[in-house]
Amino acid sequence: MALTIEDGTGSNSSANSYASVQDLRDYAGARGVDLSALSDAECEPLLIRAMDFLESKRDRYKGYISTQGQPLQWPRADAWGISYPDALFPSDEIPRELVYAQLALAIEARDNDLQPNRLPTDTGPVIKERVEGAVDVAYAAPVQQQFTPAFAKVDALLAPLLKNNGLFLVRT
């Protein structure tokens, strides 16, 4: 599947990425990450998996999609406070932070499942193991919460793009 880059108009119904393979290679190279062993065909699915992660945050982004029927969540209208605290972000642009978040996630996707499933049959970590003649293994209870991996760099990049859900800090 070839990448189709969103240009900010929201009008290309086949857009599936904010960044190209060359963007990924440039971003990775500037950060000392070597992707030379990967072909372009191997880099494209990394960018798509990163997009899947970004699209999963659709209800948390500021504003609303600019064009009815656009395939991706950006560009967005009425997105305040992204570049400047009291300024409206242009509804025909893709925030640089979003592109960088996709590129950072694509690098993470080489070694990590960005959206892992947690199944009821999953066991907890081993908490006891005995190996004297007979093997005896005990597992902790499975974690009963939804597991979401943490990507600190991506969270920091996306922070200005996300609604704060009415939460704020009050210092006394």
pLDDT for the residue 167: 60
- What are the pLDDT digits (tens) for 107-124? 999 998 898 776 666 666
Mean pLDDT, rounded, of the chain: 87
Q: CA geometry: angle at 14 spanning 101 and 9, to 5°?
A: 70
Q: Which residue has the tokens 């086949």?
A: 14
- Give the whole-angstrom CA distance, residue 107 versus residue 43: 9
For residue 166, pLDDT over 70 is answered with no
Contact between 78 and 63 under an 8 Å Cβ cutoff? The reply is: yes
For residue 84, name the pLDDT band (cuts at 50, 70, 90).
confident
Greatest alpha-carbon pair distance for the chain in Å reads 70
Helices 21-30/96-108 angle, 10° precision: 80
Query: Per this entry, what is the length of the chain?
Result: 172
> Residue 57's closest CA among 144, 145, 143, 165?
165
Q: Which residues pair with 80 in a beta bridge?
A: 88
- Give the whole-angstrom CA distance, residue 87 versus residue 130: 62
pLDDT for the residue 168: 62
Q: Which residues pair with 76 in a beta bridge?
A: 65
> Residue 51's closest CA among 15, 80, 13?
15
Of residues 143 and 64, more confidence is placed in: 64
Q: Which residue has the tokens 């992204």?
A: 82
- What are the pLDDT digits (tens) for 121-139? 666 666 666 666 677 777 6
pLDDT for the residue 19: 98
The mean per-residue pLDDT over the stretch 89-96 comes to 95
- What are the pLDDT digits (tens) for 24-82? 999 999 999 999 999 999 999 999 999 999 999 999 999 999 998 899 999 999 999 88
What's the Rg (C-alpha) of the chain? Answer: 20
